Structure 1
Amino acid sequence: MATLTYVYADSTAVLGPLATYAEPHCYDLCAEHAERLTAPRGWEVVRLATDSAPLRRSSDDLEALANAVREAARPQERGPRPVRGGDGDPTEAGRRGHLRVLRSPDN
């Protein structure tokens, strides 16, 4: 895999190692497309050395991913917070996420 960046002022397409963060004018390419890349007429392609060895994932990566998924799936422990009306009675009967159940003022 490689990242393609255009330098319009120099009419140059730069193909280098995979970028570590996203930029507006960078495009990530798979190995096959990076190898077959051509530039428009009058442009130059600069190919920077890339580490073509496949990345090997360690068990630490898999364990960290599993822990993150478990943490995200864990329910939040918080009860409904009643909203007090002017006379001190709770007007909120329950809460689920961003939705609230309000008691009728007649009750």
Structure 2
Amino acid sequence: MATLTYVYADSTAVLGPLATYAEPHCYDLCAEHSERLTAPRGWEVVRLAIDTSASRPSGDDLEALADAVREAARTPPPSDEPVEPAGRPVRDATSAMEVARRGHLRILRSPEQ
């Protein structure tokens, strides 16, 4: 994986390590496309060294993923809110209402205005 950045003022395309945040004129590319990259006629391509060992998952990554899964699987502590028969918390008229749930995702309906 690599990030392609266009510098239009210099007619340059820079291919370097994967960016940590999005910027205009930046595009993430897979390994195959970053190897085959060509630039428009008259443009220069600058290829920065990419550390391939950093792209492989480490033990810390696996442990962080396992911790996140465990956290998501925990049942939430009991709430003091009154509960409707369907198991959804009762909401006042000004807040969103839960319509459906699939796993950890919820569908919320905006209050009628």
**Category of TM-score, reference length = shorter chain:** 0.5 to 0.7
Bigger radius of gyration, 1 or 2?
1
Tell me the percent identity: 74
- Provide structure 2 residue ranges, at least 5 long, that are not aligned to the other structure: 90-96, 99-113
CA RMSD of aligned residues (A): 2.6
What is the CA–CA distance in structure 2 between the aligned matches of 1:93 and 1:30, rounded to whole Å? 48
- Provide structure 1 residue ranges, at least 5 long, that are not aligned to the other structure: 83-91, 100-107
Structure 1 residues 6 and 96, CA gap change in structure 2 (3 angstroms): same
1:48-67 equivalent positions in 2, closer than 5 A = 48-53=48-53, 55-67=55-67
- Letter of the aligned partner of 1:42 in structure 2? G
- Letter of the aligned partner of 1:96 in structure 2? R
What is the CA–CA distance in structure 2 between the aligned matches of 1:48 and 1:61, rounded to whole Å? 25
Aligned to 1:46: 46
TM-score (norm 2): 0.64
Which runs of 4 or more aligned residues in structure 1 lie more than 4 Å from their structure 2 counterparts after TM superposition? Answer: 92-95
- Letter of the aligned partner of 2:20 in structure 1? T
Aligned to 1:30: 30
1:3: how far off?
0.7
- Alignment: residue pair count: 91
Aligned to 1:96: 88
1:34: how far off?
0.9
What is the CA–CA distance in structure 1 between the aligned matches of 2:52 and 2:5, rounded to whole Å? 18
**SS of 2:27's equivalent?**
strand
Aligned to 1:73: 73
